[in-house]
Structure formats: C-alpha cells, structure tokens
Structure 1
C-alpha cells in the first residue's frame, strides 16, 4: 500500500490529496464510490487523523469528493463538480459478471496477510519455504540448465512432463495412465474450474462433501451449479447419501477428497470406496477425485486413490505438486478419458495458450531426479513434528474447550470449539494478537469450527501462536 514520503519537502496532507486525486482519475475510485473514513485512512497511512482531514478538505474544494452526515465520504458523481463528462461506473461492472468474488472471511484473511506485518499464519494452505525442495531444484537447474525454445507447448501440457507423470502415477499412486489421458494444469483449482465450466451446465446438481474445501471456492456458484451436501464422518462420506441425492435431485457429478480430506483429515473407508465406485458405475455418475495430500502420509503406505480401483472409467483424478513440493511451480494434472482431456485442453488454450514450459521442465527434472524420495521423507517427518507441536499446544492451552481427530497425513487440523463462539469475533480477536486461521464456516460447517494449517508457520511459532489463539478465544467468551 502506498504511504506518504516523510522525507519529501511536500506536506503529508498534500501527498495524500494528490494520491487520492490520481486514484480517482484512474477510475480506482469511480463516481459515487465510498472512500475510507478519515480515521481508517489515517490508520492505513500511519498519519494523524487531522492530516487526512486536511487532504479531504482539499479534495472537497476541488469538487472531487462530497460528504454527507451518516453516509460517509464519496467520490462526486460529476468529476470536478461541473463536468458533464462521466467516468464509467466501474462499481456496477465490478458487481456484475458471473464470476463471484471470494468469501468475505477469505478476503479478510488475504488482506491481513498482504499487509506484510508479522503474523503467525495458520490459514494459508501451503508448505512453508523450508519444507519445499528449494535446494534440490537449485541443484537440478545448475546441473541441467534450461536451454529449450521458450514457445507455446502442446495445449495438453509439455509432452515430456506427461510422459514422466505416467511413470510417477504408476509408482506412487498405482494409477495406470497414458500420456494422452493426462492434462497439465496450473493446479487443482484450475482443474476444478475447467470441469465446472466445460463439463457441467448452469442448473446442474452436484454432490460435495460437507465440510469441504470446495465450499470456499465460489467457482461452483459462479458456474450456476446447485450444490448438495454429503456429510463427512471419520470414515468419509456414506455412499447411500449419494444414492439418495441422485434419486431426489439427479446429481450429475460427485466431488470428493478421499485421502486426508481438507479440512477434516478423514480417510475414506475402504469398504465405502468400493460401494461408491459400484454406485457410480450403476448410475453413470462421474466422480472427481482431488488427491493433493496422499503422499504426506506420516507413517506406512499412503492410502490408495479411488482412481487406482476404478474399473469402469468413472473417476476423473486430480493431483498437483503444490502440497508435496512447491505451490509456486503451479503444476497440477488431471487424468481423464481422452475425449474429456481434449475438451478441457481446448478450453484452457482459449484462456492462456497453455502453461509456461519453464516450470513444466523443472517438474520433469525434479520428478526424474533421485531427490524425490528423500524430500518426501523429510516432508513427512517435518509435518508430523509440527502436527504434534500443534496438538500439544492445544491440549495445554485449551484442554476440554477444543476437540479434534488426530490426522495421519495432510497439512491441517480440524477443531471443534466447545463453547458457543462467533466466528467473526474470534477471527478479529486473533488478528489483533498476531495470528490468523480459517473459520470452519468457510468450508460449509456451522460456526464454532476452526482449521489450523500447521505446514505454514515455523516450528518456533506454533506454540506461541496457539497461546495467542487461546487468549483470543477467552476474550470472545468473556
């Protein structure tokens, strides 16, 4: 965020007035739009309120803004107060369109994290930098410098990467695939976006786990889909619930995260898996399986994906490197029938002509390197240690005021706060104390749930972070 230059010879209020005038002229604040209050703008710019008062007075004198008691300060409908020319009403455009904005809680979380101030981050669903294979990738690039032509690649994705993924999926996930059945995407969210936009139509009914990460993605509502809930218990969803939804609403697709489900950490029961696959084959319903966390299994063999058991071609499988390597590479993939892959590749080409070849080449070199297994071992060990730190801190600070099921993989701990609590008030109290988390209602649940991501904060921050959360909770309950 812009801030006035205190070393400049120009007064602070004049700098603020000039900046606001520039932003109004650029259309950032369209005619009629509400401006920050004097107090809020003063806090954002770290100046006295009187400085902002002087800046707003100058803008009012120019006819750029107008104030009314009880209505706040707004940009004048006619710029300069006398002009008959109109700036486009950008607010109307922003509020229109089919693609919905992020949920208010997520926008608030992003706003806090983007300020760059020191805050303990239990909200971001990604790995901390020290958990990513940064050194391994640096060595790979040093040993095998990138020398290929930097042009557009096949719309399905870089062919060598798709060929490498055929071996990777067979070795690590027991999935049989061919190069032509794989589509490279920028991650799981782009895969879901392409599916909702290209394979479904407005008004279609789909079934989604409850709670589910999918509820935090307005792309489903943006596509005009009707969402129906599949309650998740400690064994995942119940296949009979899918049958009931099909009978009542004729659902056209099921979205599921069967291994270390986000946010609950549940693993789909083996018997229920078989039942769901049989049901999908009986009814002809596609299943979209999102599988980002399986290889984080802390102990033993990772749970098998549904796709590895799929004998009828019912499952579209989605994976990525974001949760097991580096989110910044923006590498994901989808395994689906070739007709589906071709349709989605054509749509994606209309969007961006395909992904950059550079991260795709890096992904090939990493997946074919001897570094993968050691990296995954180190990742699992670190995540397990952080999980135990988090659990120990919660038990110490909150005791019986919180309950949870201990996850055996993944990045998240799903907690139920026992006393009645307001999600919004709890989040704001936590932010005041320098920590942030995701309220459970973001994922479709009732208020009183919390998702802590333990992969993001440092080991040193987890225990003091939970102590601060406990303070925030006590403040809300007073």
Structure 2
C-alpha cells in the first residue's frame, strides 16, 4: 500500500493529494464515487487527520472532489470539464452479479492484515513459511528438469501427478482409486466451487456441519443453495440428523470435514461414519468429504477418511497440499466417479484451461521423493509445539474466560468465551491492540466463540498475541486486572 515519503521535501498533504488525483485519473475512483473518510484514510496512511483534511481541501480547490455534510466526500461528477460524462455506474456493477462477496468479518480481517502487516495473525488458515518444505522443494527443482512445454495441459490434471496421487492415497489414506478418477484442482476451495456450480442447482437443499467452514463460504449462497445444519458434538454429527433433514427438506448432498474438523477440531467417530454411509446408501445421497488436516495428526495413525470405508461410491473425496505442504502451490484433488470427473474437468477447462503444469510437476516429484515423510514428521512436531504454546498462553492469560477441548491434530483451537461478548467489538479491539482472529459466528455458531489458528503465527508471537487478545477481552468485559 502506498505511503507518503516522509523524507521528501514536498509536504505530506500535497503528496496525498497528488496520489488521490492519480487514482481518480486512472478510474479507480470514477466521477460520483465516494472516497474513504478522513479518519479511515488517516489510519491507512499513518498520518494525522488534519493532514488528510488539507489534502482534501487541495483537491476541492481544483474542483476534483466535493464534500457535503452527512454525505461524505465524492469525486466531482463534472471532473475534467464542465459537461458531465456518461461514466458507467461501477458501484452498481460491483454490487450486482450472482457471486456474493466474502462475509463482512472476513473482509475486515483481510483489510486489517493488508493495512497492518505487523498484526499477529491467528486468523489465516495457512502454514507459515517455517512450516513449508521450502528447502526440499528448492532442491527438487534443482535436481529435476521440468517440462519445456508450456502449453495447456490435460484439463483433468497432469498425468504423472495423478499417478503419484494414486500411490499417495493408497499409502497414506487407505483409498484405492485410479488416475482416471482423480481431478486436479487449485485447492479444496475450487473443488467445492465446481461441485456447487456443476452438480447442484439453485434451490437445492444441502446439509453442512454446524459450526462449519462451509458456512463461511458465500459460494453456497451464490449457487442459490439452501443450507441446513447438522450440529457437531464431541463425536461429530449424528447420522440420524441426516435422515431427518432428508425427510423434511429432500437434501441433495452432505458436506463433511470429518477429521480435525474446521473449526472445532472434532474427529468424526468411527461408528457414526459407518452409520452415515448406511444412511447415504439407503437414500442414494452423495457425501462430499473435505479432508485437508488428517496427516497433521500429532500422535499415532491419522484417522481414516470416510472414503476409505466407501464400498459403493457414495463419497466425493477432496484433498489438498495447502495444509500439509504449501498453499502457494495451489494443488488440490478430487476423487470421484469417472462421469463426475469428466463433467467437472470440462467445466474447469471453460474457466481457466487447466492449471499451470510446473506446480503440478513439483507436487508430483515431492510426493514421490524421500523428502515427503520427514517433512510430515517435522510439520506435526512443530504444529504440536505451537498448539502447546497457544494453550499455555490461554491458560495463563484467561484462566476463567476461555473454555476449549484440545484437538489431536489440525491447525485450529475452537474456544468458548465466558462471558459472551459482541463479536465485532472484540475483533476491532483486538485489531487495535495488534492481533487478529476469526469470530465464531463466521462459521455459523452463536456469538461467544472464537477460532485461533496457530499455524500462521511465529512461535515467539503466540504468547504476546494471546496477551493482546486477553487485554482486548478484559477491556470489553470491564476487567482491569490481569491474569491471576
């Protein structure tokens, strides 16, 4: 983000005025559009509000902007000449379309992280750089010659990567499949998008867990789907609830995240998995299994996917490298019946003509390399270390105000606050103090829950980050004393 040059001889207010004038001339702020408020702009640029007031006055004197009490400051409609021009109403276009924007809390979190890179990040669901296999991938790229062909690849995905995934899924996930039943995607989210857009129709009813990461994805509402919730207890969802929703609403599909569920960390009980497959078989109901966290299990064997128990083909299985290797590779996959893979590959080809072949080659080499298993061992150890730091910090800072169950894998800790506080006020107070998290209501829960993700923050940031969160919480509940 642009900032004024404090070493320049040109006054800061003039720099700001020039910067805004350029953005207006480039069409970023069309005639009639609303500019950021003086307060917001001063926060973004780290300057006094009086400096922004001077910059606005400079632009007003040139007829570039207009200010009205109660209506804010707008770009002049007669800018660059006396005759109004017929500029498209970009605000109306931005508010139109069928694809909905992210939830307000998620947009606010992204905005805060962009504007304040120093924020301690307990919100982002991705691995920090020290957890990613950067050195291993660098070595692989130096050891192997990658393709000299840079044209479009197979829309279903790079064949050697699909072949490597056949072995990976059999060895690590107990899933028997073939390369023709695998579709490579740019991560789990694209898999979900293709399913909601191509296999379901507006008005269809689907079941999701409650709380659920799916609830935070506007793509379901954008597709016109009706969402019905399956409450998650300490053993996961209850299969009979699926049957009840089918009878009441004729649900067309069930979306599940059974292993170290996001956000609760719950592992779906084995007996319930069998019961769910029986219900799905009886009703002819597809299950979409999103399984990004299983290989992060801290001790013992990772929990098996539902797909490994699926003998009749009820489950569409989704996986990704994002939570076990590197989100920047943008490699995910779906295991599905051949007809579904072909349908979704055709749709994806219409969207982007397929993924870049080079990341797919890197992923294929990494899966087959001697680096993969040691990386997983190191990842589990470091995630467990960060989780321990987080739990220790919460127990030290907020012994009476936070309740949680410690998950045995994954990246998240789901916490209930005692007493409940307003989600939005807590988030803003935390951002003000230098830390960011995800309010529980983003995932469909009642107010009073938060999700802390400990994979993104550095180990030495976790204690200070929780201390800042504790300060924000105590401010809202009216406590002045620190932890006991």
Q: Under TM normalisation by the shorter chain, which class is it?
A: over 0.9
Structure 2 gap segments, 5+ residues each: 479-484
- Matching residue of 1:403: 403
2:339 aligned with 1:339: yes
Structure 1 residue 141, shift from structure 2 partner:
1.2
Q: Which moved more, 1:109-118 or 1:331-340?
A: 109-118
- Matching residue of 1:102: 102
- Matching residue of 2:352: 352
Alignment of 1:74-223 (within 5 A): 74-80=74-80, 82-223=82-223
Deviation readout 1:219-254 (Å, 9 max, x if unpaired): 001111100011001100011111111111100000
Deviation readout 1:399-443 (Å, 9 max, x if unpaired): 131111110110000000010201111111111221111110000
C-alpha separation between the residues in 2 aligned to 1:46 and 1:303?
48
C-alpha separation between the residues in 2 aligned to 1:39 and 1:439?
25
Preserved CA contact (<8 Å) 1:184 1:334: yes
Deviation readout 1:67-92 (Å, 9 max, x if unpaired): 11111111223334622312111000
Q: Which moved more, 1:229-238 or 1:1-10?
A: 1-10
Give the alignment's Cα RMSD to 1 decimal: 1.4
- Secondary structure of 2:399 counterpart: helix
Q: Which moved more, 1:170-179 or 1:140-149?
A: 140-149
Structure 1 residue 357, shift from structure 2 partner:
0.5
Deviation readout 1:263-318 (Å, 9 max, x if unpaired): 00000011110111111111111100000000011111111101010111110000
Structure 1 residue 331, shift from structure 2 partner:
0.4
C-alpha separation between the residues in 1 aligned to 2:174 and 2:148?
31
- Matching residue of 1:244: 244
How many matched pairs?
Answer: 478
Preserved CA contact (<8 Å) 1:27 1:90: no
Deviation readout 1:378-412 (Å, 9 max, x if unpaired): 11111111111111111111113111111011000
- Matching residue of 2:224: 224
Call closer, same or farther: CA 1:164–1:275 in 2, change over 3 Å.
Answer: same
- Secondary structure of 2:415 counterpart: strand
C-alpha separation between the residues in 1 aligned to 2:349 and 2:7?
49
C-alpha separation between the residues in 2 aligned to 1:127 and 1:253?
30
C-alpha separation between the residues in 2 aligned to 1:381 and 1:5?
44
- Matching residue of 1:277: 277
Preserved CA contact (<8 Å) 2:77 2:84: no
- Matching residue of 2:425: 425
2:315 aligned with 1:315: yes
C-alpha separation between the residues in 1 aligned to 2:294 and 2:444?
23
Preserved CA contact (<8 Å) 2:401 2:417: yes
Structure 1 residue 9, shift from structure 2 partner:
4.9
Preserved CA contact (<8 Å) 1:438 1:451: yes
Deviation readout 1:108-136 (Å, 9 max, x if unpaired): 11111112531211111011111111111
C-alpha separation between the residues in 2 aligned to 1:453 and 1:172?
25
